[in-house]
């Protein structure tokens, strides 16, 4: 753990959920990765912007996916869903689901962490169901 580590409250929130995590920090960013219900998630905070926290998950799109259809589904979810932003990264053929927050302290997230994870999980599930694929690949 790093001195001045503003993601420590997120680590506590992950532990509150009974989950294990790993860290991969560098000079620019603090990164936490963890699994929940078999799916991989990440948390990113930037050293030069301790009020910004991103929680998310990324998924490979199926090889046969129509990227225009995937983008349309993502746009529809962005209009309807609370918290979660859905993006299609065409170059990598990935779907990215993120919650980006500006907080006074990451501690503000702790009591809502489970709800935020549920929102990410539900949005990814709804996205892939709308694509006609039951499961995504990480």
Q: Is 109 helix (H, G, I), strand (E, B) or coil?
A: helix
Beta partners for residue 30, in sequence order: 45
Asked if the structure places residue 112 within a domain, the reply is yes
Asked if the structure places residue 3 within a domain, the reply is no
User: Residue 17 carries which DSSP code?
Assistant: T
CA 120/CA 29 separation, integer angstroms: 22
Residue pLDDT, tens place only, 113-125: 999 999 999 999 9
Asked if the structure places residue 138 within a domain, the reply is no
What CATH number is attached to the domain comprising 23?
A: 3.30.1460.10
Contact (Cβ atoms closer than 8 angstroms) between residue 83 and residue 99: yes
Q: Which domain holds residue 72?
A: 8-131
CA 82/CA 69 separation, integer angstroms: 21
Asked if the structure places residue 100 within a domain, the reply is yes
Asked if the structure places residue 126 within a domain, the reply is yes
Asked if the structure places residue 20 within a domain, the reply is yes
When divided into structural domains, the chain yields a total of 1
Per-residue pLDDT, 4: 66
Per-residue pLDDT, 112: 94
Residue pLDDT, tens place only, 46-66: 999 999 999 999 999 999 899
Q: Residue holding tokens 């603090």? A: 30
Q: Is 76 helix (H, G, I), strand (E, B) or coil?
A: helix
Residue pLDDT, tens place only, 70-116: 999 999 999 999 999 999 998 889 999 999 999 998 889 999 999 99
């Amino acid at each position: 753990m790093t001195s001045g580590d503003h993601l420590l409250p997120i680590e506590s929130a992950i532990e509150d959920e009974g989950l294990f995590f790993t860290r991969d920090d560098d000079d620019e960013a603090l990164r936490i990765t963890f699994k929940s219900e078999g799916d991989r998630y990440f948390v990113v905070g930037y050293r030069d912007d301790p009020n910004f926290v991103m929680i998310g998950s990324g998924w490979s799109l199926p090889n046969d996916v129509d990227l225009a259809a995937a983008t349309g589904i993502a746009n529809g979810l962005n209009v309807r869903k609370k918290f979660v932003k859905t993006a299609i990264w065409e170059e990598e053929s990935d779907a990215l689901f993120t919650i980006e927050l500006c907080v006074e302290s990451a501690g503000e997230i702790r009591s809502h962490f489970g709800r935020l994870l549920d929102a990410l999980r539900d949005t990814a599930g709804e996205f892939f169901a709308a694509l006609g694929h039951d499961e995504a690949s990480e």
